[in-house]
């Protein structure tokens, strides 16, 4: 799970067993495991179960995953969250303090004589993390929520805040202003120090002069950004590739435009669509810049709850990093003053990688080669 060239995130606990869990976590794990047989996934028989437990030891909601034809899916975590909100409504409670969220995995087999390969614990997907984050008004201690991810008797454990670092514009502003600590493995820097902020492995890839051109062009795109949910908020994106580093006049940028018909779809996805960023060496992404501009922290209002780097987009960048084995640096600027710099493995810890999927491994060569030769995309 994750990019094989990277160290495991230090704030996430690995290789735990049932005795390592507290009573709330054990309760959540047991109820999540009960949901596994009831899940529905004819594509791979990979079932997920989930359960949400509050600080009073009450199971607020449980659920199993449901996968339909043509890629439609409803994750177990989403079902558990939905049932929890129904439970709160019936109790006429506006908010609940959470103790544990459990996510269990099991891959079933039609042939009882064949022992299935052991399933690894799986973290909530990008879409699930975004959906859970939107429940912050209902669950007041969301960042501290303990998330236990298990398969059989093996577990990972982390806080929700560590799985989804810097999730919103308010969190970005607070991090830049130092009222929240930056995610471990990231740094706060200025535009002129971005390329050296993450160490020598990136300075040889990203010329500072070209990055400065990217910075100026992306921030110029902010004037075209239109976000109906938060009109004072402006967001734009840009990438550098080998091709655009050599020809900076061709740097690609795009503003975020959202409305009721396309909430959040007119942004970063344009820059990372198709197989070109993984198949073609010249088009593989060398860095991603996200420019965010809005009112001061104490005047953010509705803009503060906006997720500027949504789960599906974060997952796509991680996918490209995994397929090219290059830990893509991401730079997030706030009001053109300071920048949070972090490799994508810091912003997307424990995301499931294509190269770790048994069903996907044999097909990846089609999307990571050109003219029959393997693509080697390294910082050198």
Give the pLDDT mean for 298-325: 89
- Mean pLDDT over 269-292 rounds to 92
CATH architecture designation of domain 13-163: 3-Layer(aba) Sandwich (3.40)
CA 269 to CA 219: how far, in whole Å? 18
Q: How far apart are CA 149 and CA 160, in angstroms?
A: 12
Average pLDDT rounded to a whole number, residues 118-137: 87
Residue 149 pairs in a beta bridge with 103, 156
Tens digit of pLDDT for each residue in 195-253? Answer: 999 988 899 899 999 999 999 999 999 999 999 888 999 999 999 999 999 999 999 99
Residue extents of the structural domains in the chain: 13-163, 169-374
Structure tokens at 151: 């398969």
CA–CA gap between residue 257 and residue 245 (Å, rounded) = 26
pLDDT band at 26 (very low <50, low <70, confident <90, very high): very high
Strand partners, 226: 257
Q: Confirm whether 13-163 and 169-374 share one CATH topology.
A: yes
Query: Is the whole model's pTM more than 0.85, yes or no?
Result: yes
Q: What pairs with residue 131 in β-bridges?
A: none
Pick the CATH number of 169-374 from 3.40.140.10, 3.30.70.20, 3.40.50.1010, 3.40.190.150: 3.40.140.10
- Total residues belonging to the chain: 380
């Amino acid at each position: 799970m994750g990019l094989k060239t990277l160290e495991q995130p230090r704030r996430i606990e690995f290789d735990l067993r049932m005795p390592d869990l507290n009573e709330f976590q054990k309760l959540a794990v047991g109820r999540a495991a009960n949901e596994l047989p009831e899940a529905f996934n004819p594509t791979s028989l990979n079932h997920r179960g989930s359960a949400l437990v509050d600080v009073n030891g009450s199971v607020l909601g449980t659920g199993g995953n449901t996968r339909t034809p043509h890629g439609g899916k409803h994750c177990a975590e989403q079902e558990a969250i939905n049932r929890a909100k129904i439970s709160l409504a019936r109790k006429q409670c506006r908010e609940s303090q959470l103790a544990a969220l459990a996510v269990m995995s099991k891959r079933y087999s039609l042939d009882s004589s064949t022992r299935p390969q052991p399933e690894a614990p799986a973290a909530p997907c990008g879409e699930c993390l975004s959906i859970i984050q939107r429940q912050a008004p209902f669950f007041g201690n969301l960042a501290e929520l303990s998330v236990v991810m298990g398969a059989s008797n093996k577990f990972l454990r982390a806080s929700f805040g560590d799985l989804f670092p810097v999730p919103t514009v308010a969190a970005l502003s607070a991090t830049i202003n130092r009222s929240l600590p930056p995610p471990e493995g990231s740094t706060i820097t200025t535009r002129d120090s971005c390329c050296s902020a993450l160490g020598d492995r990136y300075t040889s890839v990203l010329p500072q002069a070209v990055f400065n051109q990217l910075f100026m062009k992306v921030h110029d795109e902010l004037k075209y950004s239109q976000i109906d949910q938060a009109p004072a908020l402006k967001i734009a994106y840009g990438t550098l590739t080998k091709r655009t580093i050599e020809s900076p006049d061709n740097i690609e940028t795009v503003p975020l435009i959202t409305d009721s018909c396309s909430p959040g779809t007119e942004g970063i996805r344009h820059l990372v669509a198709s197989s070109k960023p993984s198949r073609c060496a010249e088009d593989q992404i060398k860095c991603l810049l996200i420019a965010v501009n809005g009112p001061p922290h104490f005047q953010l209002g509705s803009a503060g709850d906006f997720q500027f780097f949504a789960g599906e987009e974060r997952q796509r960048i991680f996918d490209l990093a995994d397929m090219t084995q290059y830990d893509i640096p991401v730079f997030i600027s706030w009001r053109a003053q300071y920048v949070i710099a972090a490799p994508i493995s810091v912003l997307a810890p424990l995301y499931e990688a294509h190269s770790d999927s048994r069903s996907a491994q044999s097909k990846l060569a089609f999307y990571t080669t050109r003219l029959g030769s393997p693509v080697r995309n390294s910082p050198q």
